[in-house]
Amino acid sequence: MSNRGKQLREVTKLLVWARAAGRCQFKNCQKTLDHDLIAGKAEINAAYLAHVVASSPKGPRGHPTRSHQLSDDASNIMLMCDVHHRIIDGKRTWQDFPEALLLQWKREHEEWVDLALSSGPDSRSHILQFSAPIGPNETAVPFDDCVFAIMPDRTPAERRSIEIKVRGMHFQDSEESYWNVQPETLRHGVSQNVRGRFESGDIRHLSIFGLAPIPLLMELGRLVSDISDVDVYERHREPAQWKWPEDGPEVNFSRAKGREGSKNVALKLSVTSHITDDRVTDVLGDDVSIWDISSDPQAHGVIRHKSDLSRYRSIVRATLDEIKNAHGMDVTLSIFPAVPVSCAIEFGRVWQPKVHPGIEIFDQVRGKGFTRRLSFNPSSSKLK
């Protein structure tokens, strides 16, 4: 290629590297490119300073006058890994990457870097991903989606998440054998990957992302309840993301008391849908005191504000206290949930073994109605 513009000055190179934070600026790549510099081996260098408008008018996206004008301009240069540098400048592929698109990617990447660095070290959060099969479906929580959700208020404390994942099971959550194995897998995962690091001060803040059956999510909340600095996230469909949309009306919660005197007590959590009393009495019999926490409105995807979750925690805490005062600590309290992921986790975090009665958690099983799945017992609530 002939008639190239002037060579890049050192200050230009430094500006490009700094603004990209040493990572590839091809959309969604973000590969770290400083390792080869540290190794000092030019022959394995995977980092390239790629021109958007080519340095030569005859190059990819070249221009008769702008090529030379922009040849040493940091705003026209992107940091690229070897693979993506070859793609954006390839003879058969460069036309798929017009100037406007590459500049958009460069701008978005640099804005992301600026947000991450401006938040400061106190904003660092460890991302905890918990996933378990729901019905016949495997579940997963992409790490990039988690990073997008916590920023700009928080930044990832590590390049990888703390991942507790159960996959490849030959039975489903509708089967009893599932519940003989999965809760213990979750407890072991939290004990091995979270508990010790929290007690040593390595983990100071957790951002929790979960996709699993509701009782397991409640158990996750119970296991991390004494980690006070926690943010819980919810997967949303409109728009498709984990970040709180912070749009639409806020959700109001109300509590309906059950009749006093009975030691057989049920608490309905009616957020995603209404739970009729007959679905409870079908399981527990007619001699049951039924309490209810319900949202207005009741629908899937109803929780769209972080403040909604705060109000939910408050009413759950107050209701559990009221049930204890009305029925005593020796009450048998059965939980019937119709809640989103975030509310399930927060319910487990609110329950305290020294303050609240033991609980039995039920889950809806297709064709069978509500079925008992897990217990929270004050005498055996400590994680070993």
Percent of the chain's residues with pLDDT above 70: 91
Phi, psi (degrees; rounded to nearest 5) at 109: -65, -45
The range of the structural domain enclosing residue 373 comes to 252-380
Q: Residue 43 pLDDT more than 50? A: no
Is 246 a member of any domain?
Answer: no
Are 293 and 321 in contact, with CB atoms under 8 Å apart? no
Task: For residues 110 and 125, state if they share a domain.
Answer: no
Q: Residue 156 pLDDT more than 80? A: yes
Q: Residue 137 pLDDT more than 70? A: no
Is 242 a member of any domain?
Answer: no
The count of structural domains within the chain is 3
Question: Which residues neighbour 80 within 8 Å (Cβ) at sequence distance 6 or greater?
Answer: 24, 25, 26, 47, 48, 49, 50, 88
Q: Which of 201-205, 252-256, 343-347 bottoms out in mean pLDDT, i.e. has the lowest? A: 201-205
Quick count: other Cβ atoms within 10 Å of Cβ 282?
Answer: 12
Task: For residues 267 and 349, state if they share a domain.
Answer: yes
Is 1 a member of any domain?
Answer: no
pTM passes above 0.85: no
Q: Furthest-apart CA pair in the chain: how many Å? A: 92
Phi, psi (degrees; rounded to nearest 5) at 132: -150, 150
Task: For residues 139 and 67, state if they share a domain.
Answer: no
Q: Where does the pLDDT of residue 40 fall: very low under 50, low under 70, confident under 90, or very high at 90 and above?
A: very low
Phi, psi (degrees; rounded to nearest 5) at 173: -70, -10
Task: For residues 286 and 338, state if they share a domain.
Answer: yes
Task: For residues 272 and 206, state if they share a domain.
Answer: no
On the CB side of 97, CA atoms within 13 Å amount to 25
Whole-number pLDDT of residue 38: 45
Is 243 a member of any domain?
Answer: no
Burial of residue 301, with CB atoms counted within 10 A of its CB: 0-12 exposed, 13-18 middle, 19 or more buried: middle
Whole-number pLDDT of residue 52: 96
Quick one: average pLDDT of 160-189?
81
Q: Residue 50 pLDDT more than 60? A: yes
Task: For residues 270 and 208, state if they share a domain.
Answer: no
Is 238 a member of any domain?
Answer: no
Quick one: average pLDDT of 125-134?
88
**pLDDT tens digits for 219-240?**
999 999 877 799 999 999 888 8
DSSP assignment of 302-329: ---SHHHHHHHHHHHHHHHHHHHHHH-T
Task: For residues 300 and 375, state if they share a domain.
Answer: yes
Whole-number pLDDT of residue 39: 45
Strand partners, 50: 78
Amino acid in the structure at residue 164? I
**Where does a domain end: 84, 117, 150?**
117
Quick one: average pLDDT of 84-107?
95
Is 245 a member of any domain?
Answer: no
**pLDDT tens digits for 206-219?**
999 999 999 999 99
Is 57 a member of any domain?
Answer: yes
Task: For residues 373 and 362, state if they share a domain.
Answer: yes
Quick one: average pLDDT of 48-70?
94
Amino acid in the structure at residue 181? V
Is 129 a member of any domain?
Answer: yes
Q: Where does the pLDDT of residue 47 fall: very low under 50, low under 70, confident under 90, or very high at 90 and above?
A: confident
**Where does a domain end: 232, 267, 302?**
232
Q: Which of 58-72, 119-133, 190-204, 320-334 bottoms out in mean pLDDT, i.e. has the lowest? A: 119-133
**Where does a domain end: 83, 98, 117?**
117
**pLDDT tens digits for 298-332?**
999 999 999 999 999 999 999 999 999 999 999 98
246: left (phi over 0), alpha (psi -120 to 50) or beta: left
Task: For residues 333 and 306, state if they share a domain.
Answer: yes
Are 211 and 133 in contact, with CB atoms under 8 Å apart? no
Task: For residues 213 and 124, state if they share a domain.
Answer: yes
Phi, psi (degrees; rounded to nearest 5) at 335: -105, 130
Whole-number pLDDT of residue 272: 96
What angle, rounded to 10 degrees, do the helices at 306-327 and 341-350 form? 40
Task: For residues 19 and 93, state if they share a domain.
Answer: yes
Task: For residues 99 and 135, state if they share a domain.
Answer: no
